Amino acid sequence: MNADAFDTLFQDDAVRRDLAWLATTPDLVTLPPPIPCGGRPSLKELGLEETLLTWLTTLGRPALAVLNGQRTTRMGHYHERLWHTLLDYAPNTRLLARNVRIISQRTTLGELDMLYRTRANPAPVHLEVAIKFYLGLPDGPGATNSQSRWIGPGGLDSLAIKGAHLKRHQLPLSTTALAMKTLEHWLTPRDLGALEGALTTQLTQRLAMPGVLYYPWHASLPAPQGATPNHRRGVWCYCRDWPALAASKTDTPKMAWLQKPHWLAPPRLSNFGNAADLMPAIMDNLHAWRSPQQVMLYYATEQRYERLFLVPDDWPRQVPLPPRLR
């Protein structure tokens, strides 16, 4: 979806724009075997392959109330609620449960993000979701394509750590006997009776991990191992390099300062301004909080967006260790 298309759609509704972005954004990576996990629910599975924009236009306010009525800056919570809306209101799916706690002797072993089914199949689907924004390190742990080199803006998380947690804990949890017993309570008697076998053989697992990988402006770096070919890309640069980066552009870009939780869809074009006017406030915030700041650039001649993380000159102050091998 190009810039003009986004700007003419849902001009006063960031939530609908974010839903459009989420529905059309690829996963960052695919998990290797032995995890028998499928990828994100496709537009075809949702019943929106040909009708996404029409569906978004006609989506009623009750469907969006859970999003508009609960403002939050926590990206994970906002992202989950977008998925709740997609699965519960899309033509071909129905949300059965969310945040299902698996408890053993009053101890919570974990939560399953979502349980849903399609209209044509009563077999439940366990969906785990995560939205991630990782910056790649030219120098760091492992080989140049190691997932450990892709870290969060705060330096507390990495693509390797998230993948290991999904493979070792979150996804296997739903296959345990305790989880199966818990999940039976969320299925209607008709759905249970319609299953062609035991729930243990009918439950499928899916993972949706959209987001953006930001490549360093000052150095070359290959994509991380397992990255999908069409993952969304951005760029990051040190504060000291911003003048050189801006000078390298033949088309002077406009700039918008992105604020959580709306890091998903590009803002309206009317929200973009001159970078020179925005940069003083961005730099003040960056230095005061020592925290990377995300902006979006718009090139009018090419009608193209580019995501950019500006980071302190001493970033990262910490790099998470690679996950332990098991």
Q: Please tell me the predicted confidence (pLDDT) of residue 19.
A: 93
Q: Per-residue pLDDT tens for 7-54?
A: 455 655 888 899 999 999 999 998 765 555 678 899 999 999 999 999
Domain coordinates in residue numbering, the chain: 10-212, 214-311
Q: Per-residue pLDDT tens for 147-200?
A: 999 999 999 999 999 999 888 888 888 888 888 888 877 776 666 666 655 665
Range of weakest confidence among 70-74, 126-130, 151-155, 310-314? 70-74
Q: Please tell me the predicted confidence (pLDDT) of residue 317.
A: 92
Secondary structure string (H, E, C) spanning the chain: CCHHHHHHCCCCCHHHHHHHHHHHCCCCECCCCCCCCECCCCHHHHCCCCCHHHHHHHCCHHHHHHHHCCCCCCHHHHHHHHHHHHHHHCCCEEEEEEEEEEEECCEEEEEEEEEEEECCEEEEEEEEECCEEEEECCCCCCCCCCHHHEECCCCCCEHHHHHHHHHHHHHHHCCCHHHHHHHHCCCCHHHHHHCCCCHHHHCEEEEECCEEEEEECCCCCCCCCCECCCCCEEEEEEHHHHHHHHHCCCCCCEEEECCCCCCCCCCCHHHCEEHHHHHHHHHHHHHHHCCCEEEEEEECCCCEEEEEEEECCCCCCCCCCCCCCC
pLDDT band at 3 (very low <50, low <70, confident <90, very high): very low
Highest mean pLDDT among 22-31, 210-219, 280-289: 210-219
